[in-house]
């Protein structure tokens, strides 16, 4: 059965993807499986008076498309250099692209900004106006990589517009996990239905490893003398020599799903597959929530420390007083390590991860 014949719309002549919305003609592009933010073209009354005015502005926008910020970013994301990056870095960069190109600027988006008008002051204005200063820093660092790559390949990008732009100030994280805090969270993690966070904490602390590195460990990482760690982000690879505590942590990994199909990873789900980031985020949040609300019983030495720190004591258990991140465990491992060794190639990064004040002998 055919529907009723409808009268032609006043705007039936518009190009695909252009709509009349709240007094404006806007372009709503569909890219990468989702709609992009609306880009204003002109007022409705302008288009009613003269279609030529609309098409003139429309052609300007289309002309900019070959030489705008989105264009050069997409060129980089399709380059061989991008494919050589770690999968996590690639995922971050795609997310940065979406945030940068979708950021509203003067009735359009930053992705539509013409390369011919781009300069350091524009990048500075983006940093100053972006609502999350630290995220803005990451975006500009990413753009710096894009421009550095593009200057060697495209005349439209003669210089790196991010060079010399001072990033927003960031506060260095100085959260140090006390032994009693670590113990509460570790005991809570051990008592979860699937205690995967507990051995992961131990591997992170003992080997001073990031969460992604911990969950990348495989059976092949276990060498004759210790556990081999392939570090990311340019840090030095290393073998952490076996200790009783390290052997116990590896055994704990193997006990979680002993009958899972052998696919290589030390920490894996019931099917032998590696955990997804979202699953790990949720598991960590459940453990921290339990440590804050239920707590754990501590041995006498740690109980004294918890009591001195003002930890709440309910039903024979001490409660965690403040959250910390999984990444803070790596910092604790570096801080507690005899040589403060975290595989970093620079003294600056060693300082970032050493979270305790230096102990200095008194004068005379």
Q: Averaged in consecutive runs of 10 residues, what is the pLDDT profile of the chain (364 residues)?
A: 56 84 84 75 87 76 68 92 88 93 85 88 94 94 95 88 92 87 97 96 93 93 91 77 94 93 90 93 96 96 94 95 94 85 47 48 44
Closest to 141 measured CA to CA, from 170, 104, 175: 170
Please provide the DSSP assignment of 275-313 as one string. Answer: PPHHHHHHHHHHHHHHHHHT-B---HHHHHHHHHTT--E
Name the token pair of 103.
């950021």
Count of CA atoms in the C-beta half-sphere (13 A) of 151? 11
In order, the DSSP letters of 308-334 are HTT--EETTEEPP-S---HHHHHHHHH
Apex CA 271: angle with CA 266 and CA 276, to 5°? 70
Mention every residue, 6+ apart, whose C-beta is less than 8 A from residue 196: 256, 267, 275, 283
Rg of the chain, C-alpha, whole Å = 27
Q: Which element (helix H / strand E) includes 25?
A: strand 24-27
- Identify the DSSP state of 242: P
Report the distance separating Cα 354 and Cα 339, nearest Å. 10
What pLDDT is stored for residue 32 in this prediction? Answer: 64
How many Å from the N-terminal Cα to the C-terminal Cα in the chain? Answer: 100
Helix (H) or strand (E) holding 96: helix 87-101
Element at 254 (helix H, strand E): helix 244-256
Is the alpha carbon torsion for 112, 115, 116, 117 positive or negative? positive
pLDDT of residue 312: 95
pTM across the whole model: 0.62
User: What are the C-alpha distances in Å from 299 to residues 158, 185, 186, 250, 307?
Assistant: 64, 14, 13, 24, 12
């Amino acid at each position: 059965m055919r529907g009723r014949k409808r009268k032609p719309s006043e705007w039936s002549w518009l190009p695909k993807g252009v709509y009349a919305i709240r007094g404006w003609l806007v372009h709503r592009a569909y890219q990468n499986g989702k709609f992009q933010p609306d880009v204003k073209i002109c007022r409705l009354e302008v288009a009613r008076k003269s279609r030529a005015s609309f098409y003139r502005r429309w052609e300007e926008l289309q002309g900019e498309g070959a030489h705008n910020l989105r264009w050069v970013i997409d060129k980089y994301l399709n380059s061989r250099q991008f494919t050589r990056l770690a999968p996590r870095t690639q995922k971050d960069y795609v997310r940065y692209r979406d945030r940068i190109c979708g950021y509203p600027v003067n009735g359009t988006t930053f992705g539509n900004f013409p390369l011919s008008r781009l300069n350091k002051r524009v990048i500075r204005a983006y940093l100053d106006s972006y609502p999350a200063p630290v995220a803005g820093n990451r975006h500009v660092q990413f753009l710096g990589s894009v421009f550095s790559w593009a200057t060697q390949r495209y005349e439209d990008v003669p210089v790196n517009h991010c060079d010399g732009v001072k990033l927003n100030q960031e506060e260095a994280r100085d959260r140090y996990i006390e032994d009693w805090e670590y113990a509460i969270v570790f005991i809570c993690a051990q008592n979860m239905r699937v205690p995967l966070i507990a051995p992961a904490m131990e591997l992170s602390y003992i080997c001073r490893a990031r969460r992604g590195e911990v969950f990348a460990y495989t059976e092949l990482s276990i060498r004759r003398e210790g556990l081999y760690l392939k570090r990311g982000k340019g840090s030095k690879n290393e073998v952490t020599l076996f200790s009783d505590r390290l052997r116990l942590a590896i055994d704990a990994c193997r006990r979680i799903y002993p009958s899972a199909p052998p696919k290589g990873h030390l920490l894996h789900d019931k099917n032998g597959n590696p955990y997804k980031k979202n699953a790990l985020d949720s598991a960590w949040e459940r453990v921290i929530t339990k440590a804050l609300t239920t707590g754990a019983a501590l041995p006498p030495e740690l109980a004294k420390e918890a009591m001195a720190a003002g930890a709440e004591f309910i039903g024979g258990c001490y409660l965690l007083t403040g959250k910390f991140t999984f990444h803070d465990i790596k910092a604790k491992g570096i801080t507690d390590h005899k040589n403060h060794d975290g595989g970093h190639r620079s003294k600056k990064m060693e300082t970032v991860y050493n979270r305790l004040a230096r102990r200095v002998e008194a004068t005379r």
